[in-house]
Amino acid sequence: MPECDDEPWEYTLYIPHDPRAVAIGRRTLRDILTTHHLPSLLEPAELLASELLSNAIRHTKGPAALKLRRSGGALRLGAWDSDPTPSAAVAPPPAAEGGRGLRIVRAYADDWGWFQINPGCGGASGKYVWCELGATPP
C-alpha cells in the first residue's frame, strides 16, 4: 500500500561533533524530501538545515541531531545539541559579528524558535533550535 503524501512523518539523524556531519545532514535531508516529493522545499530546507547544524557543531562540544517533521503542510527542521545554555548564535545582539546563521534562518523560514531541554536535570539535556517552512503542493 503506497504512503499518502499528506500523512505526517518524522525523521531524526544523530550526528557526531564533526563539521563533516553538516554535509551528511544536507544529503540526508535531500534524500528525504526527494522521496516525499517535496522538490520546492529542497533549496531552502538545505540552507536552513546547514545553518542550524553548523551552529550546533560550532557552538557546542557534544553530539547533535537534525530532526525533520512534516505535518499539516509545514516542514519543521530542528537541530538539537547537548548544551542547554543559549549561545550568541541563538540570541545574538543586533550588531554582533556572529549570529549571521540565525539571521538567515529568520529571513528564509516562516517561523523559528528555540527551547532548552532538561536544563540542570542531568541525563539528556541541551537545546533545540527549530524553524518551519510552509509546503507548496507538488
CA distance 14 to 93: 30
More confident residue, 61 or 120: 61
Q: How many domains does the chain have?
A: 1
More confident residue, 16 or 3: 16
**Residue of 134 and 70 predicted with greater confidence:** 70
| Sequential DSSP letters for 5-22 | TTS-EEEEEEE-S-THHH
* Domain assignment present for 3: no
Residue 121 belongs to some domain of the structure? yes
**Domain contains 88:** yes
Q: What is the mean pLDDT of residues 60-84?
A: 93
Kindly state whether residue 4 falls inside one of the protein's structural domains: no
pLDDT at 16: 95
What is d(CA 104, CA 128) in angstroms, rounded to the nearest whole number? 17
Residue 1 lies in a domain: no
Q: What is the pTM of this model?
A: 0.82
State what percent of residues in the chain have pLDDT above 90.
Answer: 57
CATH at 17:
3.30.565.10
Domain range spanning residue 81? 9-134
75 lies in a domain? yes
pLDDT of 64 reads 94
Residue 2 in any domain: the answer is no
